[in-house]
Amino acid sequence: MSIKELVKLNNEKLLELSVGKKFAYTFKRIYIYLALSLCLLIVSIVVGISGYHKLYNNYYNQNTYQGLLRIHNQNLGKSAWWALATRVSETRQEEIQEFSVTMLNNMKEDLTNLRKYRGETELVKSLDQNIKNIESTTKKLVQMYAESEELADGSLSNGNEIYAVMNNELRPEIALTVDNTRQMTTNVTNEVTASYDLTIVLMVVMVVVSVLMTLLLVIFMRNAQVTLTQCVVEPVEEVAKAAEQMARGDLDISIAYHGKDEFDVLARDLENSTRASMNIVNDISDSLNEISEGDFSVGTLTPNLYHGHFGPISESMNTITDKLSSTMNDVKAASARVSEGADNMSKGANELAEGATDQAAAVEELTASVSTVTEQTENMAKNCERGVQMSIEAQKVAKDGAEKMDQVTEAMHRITNASKEIQEVANTIEAISSQTKLLALNASIEAARAGDAGKGFAVVAQEIGQLAQQSNEAVQHTHSLVNSALEEINNGNAIVEETQSTLHAIGDSVNELAEMMKSSGDMAQHQASNMREINQGIEQISEVIQNNSATAQESSAVSNELSEQSDQLHNLMSQFRVK
């Protein structure tokens, strides 16, 4: 199983469970993770307690008993040396008793206790051999003390032999015992250190594992919350959306959630309920469409859809069609009677309308003729008025044209005067050019007389002569242009005078035409006024006849319309299917 599967719930499996089992499945996983975390925590505590118990109950006791063994070993040596050194017999006996019995027994007891915690190791065996050797030596010393005699100074007769045994046999064994206990102390210390380190490592590992398990549990609970929320909130939101859709009147709903829990049952029940309601609504709509098309012979089309509280709807639909069918039968009978009376009324009204129509037609023809003459007379008067107006405007235009031509004539005169002034200026320029040309010739002659000194002046005189020649040519061209302009101006003056005379003649003719049009217009207006009075009299007669004709026609139309409506009502009523 991967870490992802450990920290996440199987969404597909949750969909297959009921709501209660969803929560049971989720919390079961949580309880398992909690139990594992607690087990790891308990194991961590047990490992720690076991390690510290081993340190205290094993290594501490080993160290204690090997320390006691060393102390008793050293006390044994001290008592043995003190027994040899003392000069007091009682003290010697006490020390002999001390090292040969008390200290030796204590060492044996220490070794026994040490063997209990340490086991049968090489050092324990070596210490056992040391104690046996010490015991053998102490027995030998006790024997030597027993065989020795005290001298007058309190020393022993065989003191040297005793000293030699103690120095050569007892002391090395005591020293070897001390070395073995020291080695055991070193070993125990190393074992204690290793055991302590192992205990710390195991506890750290267990704590880390416990923390990881706790972290996995937290992540799992977070993911479980999200997944479980989705599994619960998603169907709730789908059902709420469907309910909101129903509240808006839309019964065509489809819930996308599919599972094997109570929400799926609720979703399917809601879909079935809305589908049944939609079928009923469709049946009501179809039934009302049949009624709107005039079929009152049936009520609901599918009465088997109406169950429970929907039953009164079916009964109401049937009641409505029954009542409408009865009403339509009564309306049919009444429409037949109305149609018969309308036919009789229509015949009389048509005969009256025909006579009135003939009179109105004759009057309308006379009125039309008078109206035509009146209209023609009014049009003639209007045309005369428009002709007078146009004559006045033409007269004004002719007058304006004459005034403009006068202004053109004055302008032509001013242009002529200006052209003459230009010609005089050109003559002046021509005279100046001739003088300049003469001066240039004289300057050339003087420059020729001056020789080399006048060459530069000769060039200037030549340039001035050329300039004078060009000015003379320009003046000649100007004379030519001015003469041409004067000829054109004279021709224009002649044309303007002719145009001016023609415009004055047109103005006089327009005045006469305007007077004639004004006189004709007055006569046409007077004739149009008389025709309007005649037309008004005929219109009054026509109005009376038309009123009579309109009344007759209106009566005929009303009777015809009533007859047509009766027929239409009868046709409409025949379209309805009733019981």
Domain count, the chain: 2
Task: Say whether 234 sits in a helix, a strand or coil.
Answer: helix
Of how many residues is the chain composed?
Answer: 579
The predicted pLDDT at position 528 comes to 63
Domain that holds residue 408: 324-575
Rounded to whole angstroms, how far apart are CA atoms 110 and 104? 10
Do 215 and 346 belong to one domain? Answer: no
Average pLDDT, the chain: 75
Residue 319: inside a domain, yes or no? no
Residue 213: inside a domain, yes or no? yes
CATH number at residue 193: 1.20.1330
pLDDT tens-place string over residues 47-92: 777 766 666 667 788 888 888 999 999 999 999 999 988 888 899 9
Residue 416: inside a domain, yes or no? yes
Rounded to whole angstroms, how far apart are CA atoms 242 and 279? 17
Cα three-residue angle 222-226-227, rounded to 5 degrees: 115
pLDDT tens-place string over residues 112-146: 998 988 888 898 999 999 999 999 999 999 999 99
Do 440 and 553 belong to one domain? Answer: yes
pLDDT tens-place string over residues 397-451: 657 766 776 775 676 677 567 667 757 766 776 777 777 778 777 877 877 787 7
Contacts of residue 352, Cβ cutoff 8 Å, sequence gap at least 6: 552, 555, 556
Residue 262: inside a domain, yes or no? no
Rounded to whole angstroms, how far apart are CA atoms 260 and 379? 98
The predicted pLDDT at position 131 comes to 94
Residue 530: inside a domain, yes or no? yes
Residue 37: inside a domain, yes or no? yes
Residue 569: inside a domain, yes or no? yes
Q: Burial of 521 by CB count in 10 Å (0-12 exposed, 13-18 middle, 19+ buried)? A: buried
Domain boundary among 223, 255, 284: 223
Domain boundary among 223, 255, 281: 223
Would you state the structure tokens that stand for residue 52, as one six-digit string?
């510290």
**pLDDT tens series, the chain, 579 aa:** 566 666 677 677 777 777 777 778 778 888 887 888 788 788 878 877 776 666 666 778 888 888 899 999 999 999 999 998 888 889 999 999 999 999 999 999 999 998 988 888 898 999 999 999 999 999 999 999 998 888 887 788 888 999 999 999 999 999 999 999 999 888 888 887 888 888 888 888 888 888 888 888 888 788 777 777 777 777 777 777 777 877 787 777 777 666 666 767 777 777 777 777 777 777 777 777 777 776 766 667 777 777 676 777 777 767 777 776 777 676 567 666 656 665 665 565 566 456 656 656 655 765 676 577 567 657 766 765 776 676 677 567 657 766 776 775 676 677 567 667 757 766 776 777 777 778 777 877 877 787 777 677 677 667 777 876 877 787 687 678 767 767 876 776 676 577 667 657 756 765 675 676 677 667 667 766 766 774 676 577 467 557 656 755 665 675 567 567 767 766 766 666 666
Rounded to whole angstroms, how far apart are CA atoms 306 and 126? 108
- Do residues 224 and 29 lie in contact, with contact meaning Cβ atoms separated by under 8 Å? yes
Task: Say whether 9 sits in a helix, a strand or coil.
Answer: coil
Do 214 and 69 belong to one domain? Answer: yes
The predicted pLDDT at position 226 comes to 77
Residue 23: inside a domain, yes or no? yes
Domain boundary among 223, 246, 267: 223
The predicted pLDDT at position 407 comes to 76
Do 397 and 529 belong to one domain? Answer: yes
**pTM of the entire structure?**
0.37
- Do residues 475 and 429 lie in contact, with contact meaning Cβ atoms separated by under 8 Å? yes
Percent of the chain with pLDDT over 70: 67
Rounded to whole angstroms, how far apart are CA atoms 326 and 239? 47
CATH number at residue 422: 1.10.287.950
CB atoms within 10 A of CB 62: 22
Q: Is the dihedral of CA 76, 80, 83, 85 positive or negative?
A: negative
- Of the CA atoms within 13 Å of residue 156, those in its CB half-sphere come to 21
